[in-house]
Structure 1
Amino acid sequence: MKLISSLLLILLLVTVSSSIAFAKEIKYNHNSITIAEVKEVVNFKVLVPKKVPEELALEIKTRDNKDGNLSSIRLHYMDENDENLMLGIEEKKVSKRVISQLEEEFSEGEKIKVNVVSAYYQEWANRGKELNGKIITGGLLTWIEDETYVQMDSSSLSKDEMVEIARTFR
């Protein structure tokens, strides 16, 4: 009985420690507003990727509408030197009547399943060319989820990397 209790205790400790290891704290830069603070003041569901490259730091930009309310946010994931934007994500609320118009605009891109919704990917027109010593990759990945318009953009990450990140949004 003592052996079984010891094994159960060890199993519990391993389970708890492994779940703690998977919880990653978001690194913010420039004393940015936090995700929690943004969620308190917007009128749409804020979607956040749970998996981004570990070395990236997040800075959140906000935009007010003419009423002074927060109308959209932009998540900037910067490189480890805080010099290059590696991934940008814009989010804002869209009404149901605007959704069909936007989806029609998206349809020019490649349709990709992101969780339970369809997303549309368009690569940059200058993809493969060099800019500031780096080859341009990536493009735009756009979708609407729970009346939240999401547009990811990157000239550093590949389409596959962007889609992998998009599938971790919660």
Structure 2
Amino acid sequence: MKIFSSLLIILYLITVSSSIAFAKETKYNHNSITIAEVKEEVNFKVLVPKKVPEEWTLEIKTRNNKEGNLSSIRLNYMDENDKSLMLGIEEKKVSKKAISQLEEEFSEGDKIKLNDVPAYYQEWANSGKTLNGKKISGGLLTWIQDETYVQMDSSSLSKDGMVEIARTIR
């Protein structure tokens, strides 16, 4: 898990802080598939934050399983210049029998009550340090909601900022 966390840190280091505001309309980038299109293709409940900064744009990445069916999605919220990843949210279906195994796997972090389910936060190993003039913050926030496995990551938002957005996910 620590190796995975370290790899994610490298991928998300170039970011800036932003305040959270109600989004009026989702702005997609790179001719991304839309939330509505994704909901038609997956066999799990797609969960989307209702409260993100309005200047952020969204790009949705998808992953297929061996049979060619859409098995997971990743919501990449980018800054207004489409240069820095502000927040990533990965989602996939999880079976009831796998829930306890997954919860045990990520229970090492700080336990948080989130949308009436337990969530776990793990801070990045280099959180608080500065890289390329930008302070690294954030980490991984993981939980299961409506049989959907959700893993949120950010290197620019604080733990509180991530939790604030996560609480709006429906």
State the TM bucket, normalised to the shorter chain.
Answer: 0.7 to 0.9
The structure where helix makes up a greater share of residues is: 1
Runs of 4+ in 1 over 4 A off after TM superposition: none
Displacement, 1:23?
A: 7.3
Distance 1:76 1:23, change over 3 A: closer
Residue by residue over 1:7-66, the C-alpha shift from the partner in whole angstroms, topping out at 9 and shown as x without a partner, is xxxxxxxxxxxxxxx772111111110000000000000000000111110000000011
Spell out, residue by residue over 1:69-124, the C-alpha distance to the aligned partner (whole angstroms, 9 max, x if none): 00100000001111110000000001111111110012111111111111110100
**Equivalent in the alignment of 1:118:** 118
2:40 corresponds to which letter in structure 1? E
One-letter amino acid of the counterpart of residue 120, structure 1 = Y
Change (3 A) 1:153 1:52: same
Larger radius of gyration: 1
Alignment: residue pair count: 149
For 1:12-161, list aligned pairs within 5 A: 24-161=24-161
Q: How many angstroms apart in 2 are the aligned matches of 1:133 and 1:47?
A: 33
The unaligned stretches of length 5 or more in structure 2 are 1-21
Which AA in structure 1 matches 2:39?
K
Quick one: distance in 2 between partners of 1:163 and 1:127? 16
Structure 1 residues 23 and 134, CA, compared in 2 at 3 Å: closer, same or farther? closer
- Structure 1 segments unaligned to the other structure (5+ residues): 1-21
Relative CO higher for 1 or 2, CA cutoff 8 Å, sep ≥ 6?
2
Q: 1: CA distance between counterparts of 2:154 and 2:76?
A: 10
Kept after mapping to 1: 8 A contact 2:112/2:120: yes
Whether the 8 Å contact between 2:23 and 2:54 is mirrored in structure 1 is: no
**In structure 2, what residue type is equivalent to 1:169?**
I
So what's the TM-score if we normalise by structure 1?
Answer: 0.85
**2:85 maps to amino acid:** L
Give the percent of matched residue pairs that are identical in Structure 1 and Structure 2: 85
Is the 8 Å Cα contact of residues 23 and 52 (structure 2) preserved in structure 1?
no
C-alpha root-mean-square deviation of aligned residues, in Å? Answer: 1.1
